[in-house]
Amino acid sequence: MSQTPIIIACDFASRAELEIFLQPFGSEPLFLKIGMELYYKEGNSLVQELKERGYKVFLDLKLHDIPNTVAQALRSLAQLDVEYITVHATGGAAMLKAASEAVQGSKTKLLAVTVLTSISEESLQRDLGVVATLDETVMAYAKMAQDNGIDGVICSPHETAAIRAQAGTEFAIVTPGIRDVNDATDDQARVATPEWALEQGATELVIGRSITGSKQPLATYMNIKERIK
Ligand SMILES: O=c1ccn([C@@H]2O[C@H](COP(=O)(O)O)[C@@H](O)[C@H]2O)c(=O)[nH]1
């Protein structure tokens, strides 16, 4: 099994589109992130099939509700036996604790989304009314997540070194917002290269459109994989 830290964000509209993307990769062992778009269309059967075919799966559903609702949803989702599921840290301490208790006994690890990588500090403060800085906010959410039994966080590479120093080596830090220098940033506000994210202490890198939107997805994936190994 490959040890690459790359997780491919499979933001496709359907199973058919995903299959077209996967075809050139052959038997390459991949870690696939299935998000809302594909999960809402294809459901559990797609996740189960991908697992049966040997892919590692990260189910990025970003659960955010009252503690009981999130816990019940996770009791159901944990039966899928995926590697990671996401919850929003802004659900609060009680929700995070209920979530971590709900997956006890399964192999699934929970990641708390801190501040979405599409949000800038200006937007956080102006639009969401947060008084603290973006770094302070992400650090506080990461600590709340860890204190309540969550296995790791989603943050940008820019907050990663500080979280690594605060949370220690066992805490997972998974970073989207990964772009090569010449890539379009699209809707992401806080981006960095794969190399820099890993230098900061990221455990895994979520890479979507830089690979899935590439003219040669396999070549792009292999290029990044070689560069960071
Ligand atoms: O803060 C977050 C949390 C999750 N994501 C997800 O990661 C990928 C990124 O895709 P790109 O195409 O590489 O921008 C996408 O599936 C998001 O839902 C995130 O970007 N930021």
The residues pairing with 33 across neighbouring beta strands, listed in sequence order, are 9, 58
> How far, in Å, is the centroid of ligand 1 from the Cα of 206?
7
If we measure between CA atoms, which residue out of 162, 167, 223, 164 comes closest to residue 195?
Answer: 223
**CB-CB neighbours of 97 under 10 Å:** 17
Statement: residue 150 has pLDDT above 50:
yes
Indicate the pLDDT class of residue 1, thresholds 50, 70 and 90. very low
Residue 139 phi, psi dihedral angles, 5° rounding: -65, -40
DSSP-assigned letter for residue 218: H
**What percent of the chain clears pLDDT 70, i.e. is strictly above it?**
99
pLDDT digits (tens, 9 = 90+) for 101-114: 999 999 999 999 99
pLDDT digits (tens, 9 = 90+) for 173-214: 999 999 999 999 999 999 999 999 999 999 999 999 999 999
Q: Which of 65, 135, 151, 180 is catalytic?
A: 65
Position 2 scores a pLDDT of 47
pTM above 0.95, yes or no: yes
Position 47 scores a pLDDT of 98
Structure tokens at 85: 């599921």
> How far, in Å, is the centroid of ligand 1 from the Cα of 207?
8
Domains of the chain and any CATH numbers: 6-227 (3.20.20.70)
- Measured from the Cα of 33, ligand 1's closest atom is 16
Integer CA distances (angstroms), 139 to 22, 100, 113, 148, 158, in order:
36, 19, 12, 14, 11
Structure tokens at 33: 């992130």
Pocket residue to mutate for ligand 1, from 117, 128, 163, 188, most atoms within 8 A of Cβ: 117
- Are 168 and 198 a contacting pair, CB within 8 Å? no
Structure tokens at 114: 């801190």
Spell out which residues line ligand 1, taking CB within 6 angstroms.
Answer: 9, 11, 35, 60, 113, 116-117, 154, 176-178, 186, 188, 206-210
User: What would the mean pLDDT of 114-124 be, rounded to a whole number?
Assistant: 98
User: What would the mean pLDDT of 145-160 be, rounded to a whole number?
Assistant: 98
Structure tokens at 187: 């809707």
The residues pairing with 85 across neighbouring beta strands, listed in sequence order, are 59, 110
CA–CA separation, 151 vs 117, rounded Å? 19
Position 3 scores a pLDDT of 87
Position 51 scores a pLDDT of 98
Active site residue 62: yes
pLDDT digits (tens, 9 = 90+) for 29-78: 999 999 999 999 999 999 999 999 999 999 999 999 999 999 999 999 99
Nearest CA to ligand 1 atom 19: 176
Give me the chain's average pLDDT, please.
97
How does DSSP assign 162-178, residue by residue?
HHHHHH-SSSEEEE--B
DSSP-assigned letter for residue 54: T
- Is this complex scored with an ipTM above 0.90? yes
Residue 137 phi, psi dihedral angles, 5° rounding: -65, -50
